[in-house]
């Protein structure tokens, strides 16, 4: 049990980082988009992509590692209902997030290209933004559901 508390702390901190970075970048990306200011949009997408690489990726990797080690230390099974549901939701989040990574990079590139050329953002940008926005909802709801499962541990 000597590693239990450091593992648990790392698990909680990485989940907080995962959720906080996602919520923060989504807020700023949506705010920039709504501003209609091309320089702000391009600048924000550049930072959103950077933040995902710097903060979200490490948290995404740490979550299943620390989670598995905690399950092992506690002698629980992956088939324990709240753990199984959390894993399913984590996979759903991943299925949403992986295309979001590509979308964010593409949105950044479209915004930077428009800014450099002096053109307005086109239909491609608006279409990809709608996909990005739509994929964020199931991911965020799933993260909140996982938090609830971790706290409540329903049978």
- Say whether pTM exceeds 0.85: yes
* Tally of CA atoms within 13 A in the half-sphere of 120 that contains its CB: 4
User: pLDDT by residue (tens digit) across 47-103?
Assistant: 999 999 999 999 999 999 999 999 999 999 999 999 999 999 999 999 999 999 999
The pLDDT of residue 1 is 63
Of 10, 95, 19, the C-alpha closest to 56 is 19
Over the Cα atoms of the chain, what is R_g?
Answer: 18
In 10 A of CB 46, how many CB atoms?
15
Mean pLDDT of 127-146: 98
The pLDDT of residue 6 is 96
* Pure H helices in 36-56: 38-51
Of 143, 132, 120, the C-alpha closest to 49 is 132
Q: How many residues does the chain have?
A: 155
Going from N- to C-terminal start, the domains of the chain cover: 4-152
Q: How confident is the model at residue 4 (pLDDT cuts 50, 70, 90)?
A: very high
């Amino acid at each position: 049990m000597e590693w239990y508390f450091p593992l648990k702390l790392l698990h909680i901190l990485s989940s907080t980082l995962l959720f906080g970075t996602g919520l923060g970048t989504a807020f700023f990306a949506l705010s920039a988009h709504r501003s209609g200011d091309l320089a702000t949009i391009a600048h924000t997408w550049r930072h959103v992509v950077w933040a995902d690489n710097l903060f979200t990726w490490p948290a995404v990797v740490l979550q299943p590692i620390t989670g598995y080690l905690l399950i092992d230390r506690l002698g629980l099974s992956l088939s324990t209902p709240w753990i199984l549901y959390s894993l399913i939701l984590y996979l759903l989040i991943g299925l949403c997030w992986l295309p979001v990574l590509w979308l964010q990079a593409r949105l950044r590139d479209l915004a930077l290209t428009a800014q450099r050329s002096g053109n307005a953002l086109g239909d491609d940008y608006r279409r990809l933004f709608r996909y990005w926005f739509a994929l964020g909802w199931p991911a965020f709801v799933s993260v909140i559901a996982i938090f609830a499962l971790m706290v409540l541990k329903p049978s």
